[in-house]
């Protein structure tokens, strides 16, 4: 048996404008829901960032929340945990990682109710370092999914690896990067995908394959792809080509596919499952140490120690300044919360804390990567969130009962942040 588990990643940045969000809902999210409703045997693991759930409700798209909640209640879909505002977890302080994980869980439980019961964790952009394991494990997650390039051992076909942190273990799944990217870049037809899975038949008695990609691939990035690929794959898996009667009976289980040789013998079976269901079918293997990486990291990047090239490229000066500025923002917010001792300072500190959460979103760095695109407006929108954080954090410190020495010290930090912003804006002008 070949078990196929697919993960779709649903996310839009907090800076997304309502008109674009509406287009994505109409082109991708609603058509995807329709496909899943048409094929009740399909199975899906879905990462749904809390910031997207907020925006869908705020902008009048609550039907999408209800649709995915229904799929989860019917057992067709499982959710994963993640960071609410899609931060690059290995690049932010551990306390920020914990906060982002908790905020995401709180938001999604509010909107999806009891249907939101994730067993696994999706680190944004599959950016991984060993440092993020501890807060993920302590948050109660049993597995994490990483890019295939992070796998340091033989490729897992019929075993499931584990990682260890502080005496505790977590299961590690790896996505098939090549297969996932071929789907994402429209380099594979539905029949070719099924045939590719069938090629594995005979290598083991039972094997599994995990694919993962942005949900917006279907319908928004590639118009109609949810029909011409995904729905066609589901049709293939639910409609065997004239098998023998006894094979028909054997394939009545949900989500299985059987193809035949010319002599009428069954050659392969494919069953769709959620990622968590793989734990019921495959034994756990050895403990490994996954490599730091992302789902956009190449082998050359790994050799250069450039593990997160689209968000913190060692040769990208804009990236360096963005992270330097973000670090000052976090420092100011922490000090504001520490110093707030009256109503006015606490009010500004609360605003700063909320702005800091969204200011950690990864898209501002992605658009600064120039791989393959650059958008100065989206970079600048992220910088404006950070500026608003600085303004409110310093106001909180200044209005608190903190000593003049502390106020002066943190004013100098706001000046340093201003200098960095000026440099960034000058660089954006030159783009």
Cβ atoms 58, 25 nearer than 8 A: no
Distance, CA of 113 to CA of 79 (rounded, Å): 12
**5: β partners:** 210, 273
Distance, CA of 153 to CA of 322 (rounded, Å): 35
Query: Percent of the chain scored above 70 by pLDDT?
Result: 93
Mean pLDDT of 409-418: 98
Query: Percent of the chain scored above 90 by pLDDT?
Result: 88
Mean pLDDT of 248-255: 40
How many helices (H) and strands (E) the chain has is answered by 18, 11
pTM recorded for the entire structure: 0.93
Taking only the tens place, the pLDDT of each residue in 302-356 is 999 999 999 999 999 999 999 999 999 999 999 999 999 999 999 999 999 999 9
Distance, CA of 377 to CA of 365 (rounded, Å): 12
Q: Which two tokens stand for residue 369?
A: 């990567």
The answer for residues whose C-beta is within 8 angstroms of residue 172's C-beta and 6 or more apart is 143, 144, 145, 146, 160, 161, 162, 163, 288, 290
Question: Looking at residue 239, what is its pLDDT?
Answer: 63
Domains of the chain: which residue ranges? 2-288, 317-429
Q: Is the pLDDT of residue 429 over 90?
A: no
Taking only the tens place, the pLDDT of each residue in 257-306 is 444 333 333 344 899 999 999 999 999 999 999 999 999 999 999 999 99
Judged by average pLDDT, the poorest of 112-126, 163-177, 215-229, 365-379 is 365-379
Q: Is the pLDDT of residue 431 over 90?
A: no
Question: Looking at residue 249, what is its pLDDT?
Answer: 42
CATH 3.20.110.20 is the classification of domain 2-288: yes
Average pLDDT of every residue of the chain: 93
Distance, CA of 148 to CA of 155 (rounded, Å): 8
Question: Looking at residue 246, what is its pLDDT?
Answer: 39
Distance, CA of 111 to CA of 114 (rounded, Å): 9
Taking only the tens place, the pLDDT of each residue in 123-135 is 999 999 999 999 9
């Amino acid at each position: 048996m070949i078990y196929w588990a697919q993960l779709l990643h649903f996310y839009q940045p907090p800076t997304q404008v309502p008109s674009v969000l509406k287009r994505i809902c109409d082109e991708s999210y609603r058509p995807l829901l329709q496909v899943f409703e048409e094929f009740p045997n399909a199975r899906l693991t879905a990462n749904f960032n809390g910031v997207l759930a907020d925006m869908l409700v705020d902008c009048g798209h609550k039907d999408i929340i209800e649709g995915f909640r229904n799929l989860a209640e019917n057992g067709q879909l499982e959710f994963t945990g993640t960071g609410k505002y899609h931060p690059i977890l290995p690049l932010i302080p551990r306390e920020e990682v914990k906060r982002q994980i908790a905020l995401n869980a709180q938001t999604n439980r509010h909107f999806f109710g009891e249907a939101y019961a994730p067993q696994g964790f999706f680190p944004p952009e599959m950016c991984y370092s060993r440092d993020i394991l501890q807060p993920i494990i302590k948050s109660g997650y049993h597995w994490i999914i990483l890019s295939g390039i992070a796998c340091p051992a033989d490729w897992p076909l019929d075993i499931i690896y584990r990682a260890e942190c502080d005496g505790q273990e977590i299961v590690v799944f790896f996505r098939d990067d090549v297969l996932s990217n071929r789907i994402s870049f429209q380099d594979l037809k539905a029949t070719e995908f099924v045939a590719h899975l069938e090629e594995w038949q005979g290598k083991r008695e039972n094997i599994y394959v995990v694919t993962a990609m942005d949900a917006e691939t279907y319908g928004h990035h590639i118009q109609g792809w949810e029909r011409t690929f995904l729905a066609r794959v589901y049709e293939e898996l639910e409609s065997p080509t004239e098998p023998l009667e006894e094979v028909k009976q054997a394939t009545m289980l949900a989500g299985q596919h059987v193809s035949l040789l010319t002599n009428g013998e069954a050659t392969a079976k494919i069953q769709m499952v959620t990622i968590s269901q793989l734990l019921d079918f495959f034994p756990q293997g050895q403990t490994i140490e996954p490599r730091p990486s992302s789902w956009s990291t190449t082998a050359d990047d790994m050799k250069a120690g450039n593990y997160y090239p689209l968000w913190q490229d060692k040769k990208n000066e804009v990236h360096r300044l963005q992270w330097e500025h973000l670090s000052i923002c976090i420092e100011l917010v922490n000090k504001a919360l520490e110093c707030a001792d009256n109503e006015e300072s606490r009010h500004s500190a609360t605003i700063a804390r909320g702005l800091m959460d969204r200011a950690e979103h990864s898209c501002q760095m992605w658009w600064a990567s120039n791989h393959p695109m650059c958008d100065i407006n989206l970079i600048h929108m992220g910088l404006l969130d950070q500026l608003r954080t600085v303004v409110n954090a310093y106001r909180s410190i200044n209005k608190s009962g903190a000593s003049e020495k502390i106020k002066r010290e943190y004013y100098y930090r706001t000046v340093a942040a201003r200098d960095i912003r000026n440099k960034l804006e000058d660089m954006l002008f030159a783009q």
